Amino acid sequence: MTKTHLLTGHVLTFDGDPFVQPWADAVRVLEDSAVLIEDGRIAAVGKDALANGADAERHDYSGHLICPGFIDAHAHYPQTAIIASWGKRLIDWLNTYTFPEEMRFGDPAYAKDTANRYLDLLLDHGTTSVASFCTIHPTSVEALFEAAASRNMAVVAGKTCMDRNAPDGLRDSAQSAYDDSKALLEKWHGKGRARYAITPRFSPTSTEDQMAALGALWSEHPDALMQTHLSEQVDEIAWVRDLYPDTRDYLDTYEKHGLLGARGLYGHAIHLEEREIDRLRDVGAGVVHCPTSNTFIGSGLFDLMGLTARGIPAGLATDTGGGSSFSMLRSMAAAYEIAQLRGVAVHAAQLLWLATAGSARVLHRDEEIGSISPGLSADLCVLDLASTPAIAQRHARAKDIWDAVFPTIMMGDDRAVADVWIAGARRT
């Protein structure tokens, strides 16, 4: 028997990209409306949902905002336990906290425990999909995909590859990186809701031989994704110049080895040169804004409005554990604050789109997730717009629906997440 659910409340819908057209034309909130779910997918929205949902099980979210589930487009699940570790710059932070913690993921039990804890934390915060780096250990990838499958979550993940500038026990080789990644890709990519991303950590931790091997793997499996880091800090860029003296810029270290393409995800991308911007646009590659990480580690101010105006697709991410929160609401708030420092006030409609449809687009999964539209998977996050006394008193003074939503973006946390639905099943 078909299982149907009717969710009533305010419904967030998208008709376009609010970074290339007026936000009011691209994003709407259907007030006192509904979403009809049938067999795990969205069957109807708005008046059609109300008309066709008379026999469905009803869930009343009056006064709440029914959103697509949040999509975190760049994270490091092995850094779950070291989130909010004190200070220093990127390289020091990696050596002091990240690498010692990642050593532990050769233990399948530790990887499994962390993966399960991490995904539960995401769901607590309304995040239903994530693209995560793992460690060099195949067991770390297996653990995340298995944990996601048990929750029916749509995830992207890959074995992190490093064959230099990393400690003993965290280095592989060009050949083993290729072999391990290929085996994992062939096992998991397209299995259920899992998608594989070929994952060189970043240019400083891969030799040219390893970069070329991973580029070859991508050419053999062009439907896979590729995720890495790009131009996060100025001292990192100087290091890359020393390590790759024959390349034109940081992006060229990837391009030269077959690691630049439309299905590439380039995290941070703060300090880009003109040629890099042009090439990212030309190939249709996606960049991922990691605002809490960029401020926590002191990396810089991402040019969200400038890059999207140049036609570069952008997603949003927590970048945990360099990022200081598991919450995509906090990432939205930080993205707003960083844009303010660059002289632009990003609208709430743009922030919500970035954390859902925008991230789905850079993950090449927008035909499945990221929007509330008939035919898409019913991955949903229901936000209580008056979840705390501070937010409630501000919400009470709201002049319109967007004025009611904005305080939750700026001050909300896991308490604002009233419910989560994954593929049409309510999380219990």
pLDDT digits (tens, 9 = 90+) for 22-47: 999 999 999 999 999 999 999 999 99
Q: What's the pLDDT at 2?
A: 67
Q: Is the pLDDT of residue 1 over 70?
A: no
Looking only at the bridges linking them, the beta strands covering 194-200 and 160-161 are parallel
CA–CA gap between residue 203 and residue 243 (Å, rounded): 8
Report which DSSP code applies to 248.
S
Spatial CB neighbours of 241, under 8 Å, sequence gap ≥ 6: none
CA–CA gap between residue 306 and residue 154 (Å, rounded): 30
Tokens of 374: 């008939």
Looking only at the bridges linking them, the beta strands covering 380-383 and 27-38 are unpaired
The mean per-residue pLDDT over the stretch 150-171 comes to: 96
Per DSSP, the residues of 32-68 read: EEEEEEETTEEEEETHHHHHH-TTSEEEEEEEEEEEE
Q: What's the pLDDT at 87?
A: 74
Per DSSP, the residues of 401-428 read: HHHHHHHHHHH--GGGEEEEEETTEE--
Q: Is the pLDDT of residue 122 over 90?
A: yes
Interval 56-98: pLDDT, tens? 999 999 999 999 999 999 999 999 999 988 877 777 878 888 9
Interval 178-234: pLDDT, tens? 999 999 999 999 999 999 999 999 999 999 999 999 999 999 999 999 999 999 999
Closest CA to 318 of 127, 134, 81: 127
Domains plus CATH for the chain?
A: 4-69+371-426 (2.30.40.10), 70-362 (3.20.20.140)
- Residue at 67: amino acid letter: C
Interval 281-328: pLDDT, tens? 999 999 999 999 999 989 999 999 999 999 999 999 999 998 899 999
| R_g (Cα) of the chain, nearest Å | 21
Q: What totals of helices (H) and strands (E) does the chain contain, helices first?
A: 18, 16
Distance, C-alpha 362 to centroid of its chain: 9
Q: Is the pLDDT of residue 154 over 60?
A: yes
